[in-house]
Structure 1
């Protein structure tokens, strides 16, 4: 059984679906969110769990005979960043303890493309040294800290750590007004018949549709062998806002997405994740380009609020 913590969140749910598509038995944990998306109904076991509850975590893993773990559960910072760090670090340490106690085969943990912040390159690959830089958000700080906590926490245990440096993921189940990715709000405005706020045509960078991100993680969990510990998870295909506007016009007839000329900053390209390692070691190729992703998302939103 593969355990996906945070398995009713956007990335977790799509990971669980991809694992089920590969014929794997999956149990997902739910804490704040209880609604099971239609594409998971009847396909996975769903268990309520607060990952900060060590004893409940251990009991759940024993009850389901868990043999692999994808740890994606995490919170959103509030007014007190220390409380956010405490809760998420406790959850991670409990997940690591469960992995060691169960002797699981593979333990994957969510990191972020934000750990590369400060690198001057526009294609970020896993061999780049991570700079000591001001990080853009407490979540990124937590993800960067989670990497060595995971690798050191599993040292000598026989459990293989897999660090998932996840790109800018969006798609079904994301908050339509999310402040973390501008694509759902942009599409949402078009669906409401409103003119989306104008974006600079040349801005862009990394993007990955959630079903592709989930499938990439599933392939990393089910590969017979992984020669590396760290993997970028994204589409490997940078986009621009010009591409986004074109996709929205095609998917939402009559929409009028506006664009501002050029870029909001210096000339050049915005960075994105290089996924050559992921493709080489798992065979992953994204199934969606931006136009196909927007069309699929528009169809999903026709029947779903988020």
Structure 2
């Protein structure tokens, strides 16, 4: 069967493409290349350039490639930007998803895998976030992901699609240097950039109710994200009635101070001591996934630890910034 992967030329998308191809699946990528790069795709994978808002392009790609499953990753994903431009985020993320689902339903696609986010939870006051933890998103970005889950679930029931919504926690690392994260929006590349400029890394707040006073997060290697997609795709193929909502995390928390320390060691910049800046509004003290459900449902578990994530990310950073 053939899977269409929207946003497949991006950071996470290209890892999912590689993992599915390595697993023997046929893949076609739809990407508008606003942030994606064709060079990230494996040899032999067809790239169709277009936006998920273009119904005519979707209809053609689904028909010409006889697509039987969709992995929808294409989305805008910057929390701060979503606060400034909520209408744009709802159009790109919700209307884009609605258009893809409508085209898929009319093309008789029977498998749909949606890229969601831990942002749907907001600021959960629990040690481990389970899929039953109440969803109270704190940004338009998180709202669009939660609305997307509702839409996927409803369309799946109405049109007989097997569906899965995968809630990513804090993604980092790279399966190979050329697939590293090109953005400067997450903690690891942000610290890399500060160190490369000879500046001290910043830690936003050290007075949280955590062991060292800094925020605790669940960091997950992007290669583990990709392998979870392969496991989910196989489940949707085997179980036509599947309707899954699953966390993708390790179940282990790492504080920001601990992560910055590992980054400094791996990059060789131990001379630059971190500086503490004021808290950022809306940062919860602790957000760590329970990975119990995904283990039971997909027989999946994360393979990589935090040092492996940072080391692989640093190799990718060096490739893109040789100076």
TM-score clears 0.5: yes
* Length-normalised TM-score, structure 1: 0.86
Match of 1:207 among 201, 207, 219: 219
* Length-normalised TM-score, structure 2: 0.82
Q: Is 1:218 aligned to 2:225, yes or no?
A: no
The structure-2 alpha-carbon separation of the partners of 1:187 and 1:233, relative to structure 1 and needing over 3 Å to count, comes to same
Match of 1:287 among 300, 303, 309: 303
Match of 1:271 among 287, 300, 304: 287
| Correspondence for 1:63 | 64
Once residues 110 and 217 of structure 1 are traced to their aligned partners in structure 2, the CA distance between those partners, rounded to angstroms, is 9
Shift of 1:60: 0.6
Number of residue pairs matched by the alignment: 297
Aligned partners of 2:251 and 2:288 also within 8 Å? yes
Shift of 1:156: 3.1
Q: Is 1:51 aligned to 2:56, yes or no?
A: no
Aligned partners of 2:16 and 2:226 also within 8 Å? yes
Once residues 247 and 26 of structure 2 are traced to their aligned partners in structure 1, the CA distance between those partners, rounded to angstroms, is 25
| Correspondence for 1:189 | 194
Shift of 1:16: 0.9
| Correspondence for 1:89 | 94
Greater helix share, structure number: 2
Q: Is 1:6 aligned to 2:7, yes or no?
A: yes
Once residues 202 and 275 of structure 2 are traced to their aligned partners in structure 1, the CA distance between those partners, rounded to angstroms, is 10
Q: Is 1:241 aligned to 2:241, yes or no?
A: no
Aligned partners of 1:69 and 1:106 also within 8 Å? yes
The structure-2 alpha-carbon separation of the partners of 1:122 and 1:257, relative to structure 1 and needing over 3 Å to count, comes to farther
| Correspondence for 1:155 | 157
SS in 2 for 1:67: strand
| Correspondence for 2:209 | none
Aligned partners of 1:164 and 1:233 also within 8 Å? yes
Aligned partners of 1:170 and 1:210 also within 8 Å? yes
Once residues 61 and 305 of structure 1 are traced to their aligned partners in structure 2, the CA distance between those partners, rounded to angstroms, is 38
| Correspondence for 1:121 | 126
Shift of 1:33: 3.6
The structure-2 alpha-carbon separation of the partners of 1:187 and 1:235, relative to structure 1 and needing over 3 Å to count, comes to farther
User: CA deviation digits over 1:6-38, x for unaligned, max 9?
Assistant: 111222111111111211111111112452244
User: CA deviation digits over 1:167-189, x for unaligned, max 9?
Assistant: 122345434421xx222111232
Match of 1:177 among 161, 169, 184: 184
Once residues 287 and 257 of structure 1 are traced to their aligned partners in structure 2, the CA distance between those partners, rounded to angstroms, is 30
| Correspondence for 2:103 | 98
| Correspondence for 2:316 | 300
Once residues 20 and 105 of structure 2 are traced to their aligned partners in structure 1, the CA distance between those partners, rounded to angstroms, is 22
Aligned partners of 2:3 and 2:25 also within 8 Å? yes
CA RMSD of aligned residues (A): 2.7
Once residues 251 and 101 of structure 2 are traced to their aligned partners in structure 1, the CA distance between those partners, rounded to angstroms, is 30
SS in 1 for 2:301: coil
Once residues 183 and 259 of structure 2 are traced to their aligned partners in structure 1, the CA distance between those partners, rounded to angstroms, is 16
Once residues 284 and 186 of structure 1 are traced to their aligned partners in structure 2, the CA distance between those partners, rounded to angstroms, is 30
Shift of 1:304: 2.3
Q: Is 1:107 aligned to 2:112, yes or no?
A: yes
| Correspondence for 1:75 | 76
User: CA deviation digits over 1:192-243, x for unaligned, max 9?
Assistant: 4432124545322122122221221222112334865101122322211232
Once residues 35 and 125 of structure 2 are traced to their aligned partners in structure 1, the CA distance between those partners, rounded to angstroms, is 38
Once residues 66 and 29 of structure 1 are traced to their aligned partners in structure 2, the CA distance between those partners, rounded to angstroms, is 12
